[in-house]
Amino acid sequence: MVSIMTSLWFGHLSGHDKVAVKPHASPVYHAIKYLTGELDRRYLTGLREIGGLQAYPSRTKDPDVADFSTGSVGLGVVAPLFAAAARRYVEAHFGLQTEAPARFIALAGDAELDEGNVWEAIADPALQGLGNVMWVVDANRQSLDRVIPGQKIKKHMEFFEGAGWHVIEAKFGHRLQAAFRRPGGDALRAHIDAMSNEEYQSLFAFTGAELRQRFLRSADSSVRHLIDNYSEAELAPLIQNLGGHDLSMLAESYRSCDAVTDRPSVVFAYTVKGFGLPMAGDPLNHAALLTRDQIDVFRKELGLTPDTEWDRFADDTAVGRLCARTGGELNNSALVPRPRLSIPDAVGAFTQKPVSTQETFGRLLTGLAAISSVAERMITTSPDVSVSTNLGGWINKMGVFNPDEQPDYLGEGRLLRWRQAPAGHHIELGISEMNLFLMLHALGLGHELHGEHLLPIGTVYDPFVCRGLDAFIYALYSGARFIVVGTPAGITLAPEGGAHQSTITPSIGMELPGLAYAEPAFATALDWLLCDGLQRLADTDGESLYLRLSTRALDQTPFDSAVQRLGAHTSRAHVLAGGYRLLEPGEPAQVVLAACGAVMPEVLAAAALLEAEGLPAIVLDLTSPDRLYRHWRLGLRDASRAGTAASDDHHLATLLAPHERHLPIVTVHDAASHTLAWLGSVFGTRVVPVGVDAFGQSGSIHDLYGLFDLLPDQIANAALVATA
């Protein structure tokens, strides 16, 4: 990998290119950044230390900011592919032009190609034709524990070719290729090709006569005659001359990729792990370290001393000037903040009819499409579920993105007009939730990678948030900003059955850093949360937003009544903070019903039953349990660090007056019951959590709610238990 990166940085890259560095090549990356002047000397001895260099390249934590975070195997390598797709979109919409086209490059280990998400990305039609993408696969034929048996590289090359990629094999260096042209050269090539990976890599442990004897074992006479022409000193440099360690061979391969502009390219650069070191090719060298004696020998071979080993090259030398020139062209400059956009507090214009949050979401996007300053930055994407997640109205207005305009054979007389053109604002993916979150990652870094702040919104069936979870985490870890809408959610999607009924996704939303999870029950609350979420995508301390929605239509009257009682300003502030008082009891309350989302009609009906039984209840609509929890937890953390008593300066204390904080709580949620069970810890009160703690099944909403104690009389019984 050292040769691959040296050839790339010092002979190929331009200032507009973006590179994902193989995770374990992090020290090489930082060394290059030091030599080119971007990284201060003090960081070199702080690898894997707090405040120092990260173990793997990080966009958000390394001082020499990487273009892409890597470390999650299979995700970092495909990130440049999605970034190139985002660049294609940005260029089509904003006319972004540079002196030289930006290239998106990934440096990957061959073992990373075992990851399934790699092939999901390669196969997606939305990622075809990206001629500014190049992957360089470090084909060292080793994984963590072993030398990889068999001929997987050949199979991988065939897979790439089948997916339409331009494939280059940099297997043998120029020294070996020259030997192949001599008499007996074809037999020499066949002899090397016939060796197993294990046998070939074992040769790197030997030199001289022993290397000759081992290499010629089972070789025919023509190979022996050819090898007789090489001295003991020449033999190891010949046999070990792989393409991935030949700088000129690598440079030729990179230029060949640049010449192909209609499809992505991949270079399989054959290397040996630990090349040039005593553990080269050793199956157990993944965690191996040089001994002090080996370090001393290596230092002397390089002409260094303990006093000079950290020095940069002298400025007045040819290599020093090369480093300075490379740094001036490639090193990252400070990033300016994302621009704030003029986004309304609400879109508004709802009917008084019952409506679901999923339908409301579709209407809101259609309304935002009419605000040109917002719509020009908005981009939606979906893994083949755009219609069933209510993106149809948006697509009708804004079109589907395609770099080339496509004919619409079915014409205008359809409910959904699938017009594909460079001006479109929706990217349709194949059925891969991994690809959804990787696309959101790329679009959510539009400002950082392409200089254009985008407002990406992705939709996905809520249970399949889990299918894309690795990529979801990766996107947030990288600092991407986006909105993801999980819909339909829960057992409220009753007829679909347990495979399509989510239960644990709220917990995921609450526990992921850099993300706010919200689950509104009513249309206007969703309106406020969505518009606020779009604005927060640009805030310095902003975050991404996960909206968990439903197809169940709810009567909007209870919310309207609450707004009339609280006032619009206070209502909006409370909704954004995480919850509000939806229903006030006629008499002093004896219990609190705290609920989320689609179960609100049952909760309100339960409150009416309790009122009739002489047990008045406060009903809290928790629009974002995540923000409620975080605000409370932040106060506890600050108090712990200061060694003081915790204050009641959090939103739940705003919702419940001091004389109400002792009241027992019943939490109700179409999700795992533990999601809200923490509420009792805030004021030390009894909690009865009601939720979905088993897999669902097909049925009606009434039947499934009854199965999980979510019907009004069952919720009322839970309140009786809480107050007993």
Q: Which two tokens stand for residue 502?
A: 């989510």
pLDDT at 408: 83
Residue pLDDT, tens place only, 260-316: 999 999 999 999 888 878 777 676 656 678 889 999 999 998 999 999 999 999 999
Rounded CA gap, 563 and 567, in Å? 5
Contacts of 521 (CB under 8 A, 6+ apart): 357, 554, 559, 595, 596, 597, 598, 600, 621, 623
* Average pLDDT over the chain, rounded to an integer: 93
Tell me if residue 32 falls in helix, strand or coil: helix
pLDDT tier at 491, thresholds 50, 70, 90: very high
Which 8-state DSSP code applies to residue 147? B
DSSP 508-574: HHHHSTTEEEE--SSHHHHHHHHHHHHHHTTSTT--EEEEE--S--B-SHHHHHHHHHH-HHHHHHH
Tell me which residue has tokens 């990260």: 54
Q: Which two tokens stand for residue 436?
A: 């959804």
For the chain, give the number of residues. Answer: 724
Crossing angle (nearest 10°) for helices 26-35 and 2-11: 30
pLDDT at residue 557 greater than cutoff 90: yes
- AA letter at 571: S
pLDDT at 204: 86
pLDDT at 694: 96
pLDDT at 456: 99
What average pLDDT does range 585-603 have in this prediction?
Answer: 97
List C-alpha distances in Å: 647 to 140, 404, 610, 682.
57, 59, 32, 11
pLDDT at 145: 46
Residue pLDDT, tens place only, 75-127: 999 999 999 999 999 999 998 766 678 999 999 998 899 999 999 999 999 99
Cα four-point dihedral sign 343, 346, 349, 355: positive
What average pLDDT does range 324-348 have in this prediction?
Answer: 88
All domains in the chain, ordered by first residue = 2-171+242-330 (3.40.50.970), 174-241 (no CATH), 357-548 (3.40.50.970), 579-723 (3.40.50.920)
pLDDT at 73: 78
pLDDT at 438: 98
Q: Backbone phi, then psi, for 185, in 5-degree steps?
A: -65, -40
What average pLDDT does range 630-651 have in this prediction?
Answer: 93
Tell me if residue 624 falls in helix, strand or coil: coil
Which run of H or of E encompasses 364?
A: helix 357-369
Rounded CA gap, 319 and 307, in Å? 20
| CA angle (224, 226, 232) in 5-degree steps | 80
Rounded CA gap, 69 and 60, in Å? 8
Contacts of 122 (CB under 8 A, 6+ apart): 78, 81, 159, 160, 163, 165
pLDDT at residue 317 greater than cutoff 60: yes
pTM (2 d.p.): 0.94
pLDDT at residue 677 greater than cutoff 90: yes
What average pLDDT does range 33-52 have in this prediction?
Answer: 93
pLDDT at 278: 74
Which 8-state DSSP code applies to residue 338? P
Contact criterion met (CB below 8 Å) for 285 and 144: no
Query: Within a 10 A sphere around the Cβ of 442, how many other Cβ atoms?
Result: 32
> What proportion of the chain, given as a percentage, has pLDDT over 70?
97
pLDDT at 336: 83
pLDDT at residue 22 greater than cutoff 50: yes
pLDDT at 149: 58
Rounded CA gap, 347 and 367, in Å? 6
Contact criterion met (CB below 8 Å) for 332 and 64: yes
pLDDT at residue 410 greater than cutoff 80: no
pLDDT at 111: 86
pLDDT tier at 628, thresholds 50, 70, 90: very high
pLDDT at 202: 85
DSSP 214-274: HHHTT--HHHHHHHTTS-HHHHHHHHT-BGGG-HHHHHHHHHHHHH--SS-EEEEEE--TT
pLDDT tier at 537, thresholds 50, 70, 90: very high
Q: Are strands 18-20 and 104-109 parallel, antiparallel or unpaired?
A: parallel
Q: Backbone phi, then psi, for 401, in 5-degree steps?
A: -75, 130
pLDDT at residue 471 greater than cutoff 80: yes
